[in-house]
């Protein structure tokens, strides 16, 4: 493999990694507060892609506005999902909530099949984004650079929000100690709603950008990235936003480079994340950046 090829794969890996990172943040935020694997998160990501598709095909709104509107709308759907599927179960045993999450994911996927149809749809990429640039012999699609850029901008905004605002502080307090935070007068339901909105919004941004990079929409497209991004969150240390980003990049880069270097392992691409997960869980059960917890009686 020449150096040029390597650079191309590296660019692809980074852009896939940043997509994974965006989705993984939603998992890690929700898990940090509710201790819940939001299995439906991957399907929220799928909805983001489809809403953009319908916005561009059937309205005359400019594409960049559709991108933003679709992401916000998906964020609101995520919020609604929490109200319906998780809020009634706030005090129920965790396995119950997990089953509800699985049910929600199942519902969204099949709802997608019924409403959007089971056949793949071609994502309408705006011409501005569909350009190939030539960088010293390497031709790379411009979207490969745009994706990491947007991801970094969103990450900076999120870090500011979590560390500097009052709501962000409440979020951190809730994930540190749910009960005490509640006693301190934090409006738990409001914070959880905001968390779901932000997580789903980021997943939807991921979905829109996924569509521009891999322009094919399927109702089940969220299942695999959804699970992989949860794995990314676990690898980085669940509950930790920096960890989710790190995990996302490790997974994205790892996947692309695995296929690039060992082309006979191409078929095993989807297994890579799971193997990595099991290894990391066995070596460091709390993830790379996770804090060590002690068992209390």
Partner 1 sequence: MKANMKTAKSKKLIDNRTFISFVILIIALIVINFTDNDYIKRITSLCGIYVILGLSMQLINGFTGLFSLGHAGFMAIGAYTVAILTIAPEDKVMNFFMKPILPFLANVEWWFFPSLIMAGIIAGVFGFLIGAPVLRLTDDYLAIATLGFAEIIRVVFTNTQSLTNGALGLKAIPNNTNVLWSWAMAFITIGFMVFLMKGSYGKAFKAIREDEIAARSMGINLFRHKVMSFTFSAFLAGVAGGLMASLLGTIDPNMFRITLTFNILLIMVLGGLGNIKGTVISAIIVTAAMEVLRFLDESINLGFIQLEGIPGMRMVIFSMILMAVVIFRKDRLLKGN
In whole angstroms, give the CA distance from residue 272 to residue 253: 11
Site string for partner 1, 260-279 (x = CB under 8 A): -------xx-xx-xxx-xx-
Q: Which is nearer to partner 1, 148 or 222 (CB)?
A: 222
Count residues binding partner 1 (CB under 8 A): 44
The upper half-sphere exposure of residue 23, i.e. CA atoms within 13 Å in the direction of its Cβ, equals 39
Tell me how far, at minimum, the Cβ of 46 lies from partner 1, in Å.
14
Q: Is 83 in the site for partner 1 (CB under 8 A)?
A: no
In whole angstroms, give the CA distance from residue 22 to residue 248: 8
Q: Is 88 in the site for partner 1 (CB under 8 A)?
A: yes
Q: Which is nearer to partner 1, 85 or 194 (CB)?
A: 85
Q: Is 34 in the site for partner 1 (CB under 8 A)?
A: no
Which one of 6, 10, 76, 107 is in contact with partner 1 (CB under 8 A)?
107
For tokens 């929700």, the residue is 30
Site string for partner 1, 202-231 (x = CB under 8 A): ---------------------x---x--xx
3-state secondary structure 77-110: HHHHHHHHHHHHHCCCCHHHHHHHHHHHHHHHHH
Tell me how far, at minimum, the Cβ of 147 lies from partner 1, in Å.
26
Which one of 215, 281, 284, 288 is in contact with partner 1 (CB under 8 A)?
281
Q: Using alpha carbons only, how large is the chain's radius of gyration in Å?
A: 19
Helix, strand, coil percentages in the chain from 3-state DSSP, rounded to 5: 75, 5, 20
Coil, strand or helix at 217: strand
Alpha helices (H) along 35-165: 41-58, 63-81, 94-116, 143-164
Please name the residues in contact with 208: beta carbons below 8 A apart, sequence gap of 6 or more. 48, 49, 52, 67, 70, 71
Which two tokens mark 93? Answer: 């045993």
Mark the segment that binds partner 1 (CB under 8 A) among 100-108, 164-172, 176-184, 253-261: 100-108
Which one of 54, 83, 96, 126 is in contact with partner 1 (CB under 8 A)?
96
Mark the segment that binds partner 1 (CB under 8 A) among 11-19, 107-115, 166-174, 176-184: 107-115
Mark the segment that binds partner 1 (CB under 8 A) among 87-95, 134-142, 208-216, 243-251: 87-95
Angle between helices 241-261 and 269-283 (to 10 degrees): 130
Q: Which residues bind partner 1 (CB under 8 A)?
A: 31, 35, 37, 85, 88-89, 92-96, 98-100, 102-104, 106-107, 109-111, 113-114, 118, 223, 227, 230-231, 234, 267-268, 270-271, 273-275, 277-278, 281-282, 285, 295, 297
């Amino acid at each position: 493999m020449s150096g040029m090829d390597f650079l191309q794969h590296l660019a692809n890996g980074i852009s896939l990694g940043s997509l994974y990172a965006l989705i993984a943040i939603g998992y890690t935020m929700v898990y940090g507060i509710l201790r819940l694997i939001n299995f439906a998160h991957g399907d929220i990501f799928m909805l983001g892609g489809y809403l953009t598709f319908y916005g561009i095909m059937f309205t005359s709104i400019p594409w960049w506005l559709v991108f933003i509107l679709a992401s916000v709308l998906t964020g609101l759907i995520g919020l609604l999902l929490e109200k319906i599927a998780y809020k009634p179960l706030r005090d129920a045993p965790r396995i119950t909530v997990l089953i509800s999450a699985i049910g929600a994911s199942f519902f969204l996927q099949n709802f997608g099949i019924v409403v959007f149809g089971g056949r793949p749809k071609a994502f309408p990429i705006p011409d501005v984004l569909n350009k190939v640039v030539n960088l010293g012999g390497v031709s790379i699609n411009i979207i490969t650079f745009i994706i990491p850029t947007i991801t970094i901008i969103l990450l900076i905004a999120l870090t500011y929000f979590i560390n500097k605002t009052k709501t962000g502080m409440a979020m951190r307090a809730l994930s540190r100690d749910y009960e005490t935070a509640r006693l301190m007068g934090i409006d738990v339901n409001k914070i959880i709603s905001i968390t779901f909105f932000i997580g789903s919004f980021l997943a939807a941004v991921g979905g829109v950008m996924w569509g521009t990079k891999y322009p094919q929409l399927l109702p089940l497209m969220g299942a695999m990235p959804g699970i992989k991004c949860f794995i990314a969150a676990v690898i980085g240390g669940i509950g930790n936003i920096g960890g989710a980003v790190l995990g996302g990049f490790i997974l994205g880069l790892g996947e692309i480079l695995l296929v690039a270097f060992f082309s006979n392992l191409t078929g095993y691409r989807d297994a890579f994340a799971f193997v990595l997960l099991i290894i990391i869980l066995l070596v460091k059960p709390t993830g790379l950046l996770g804090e060590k917890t002690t068992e209390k009686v």
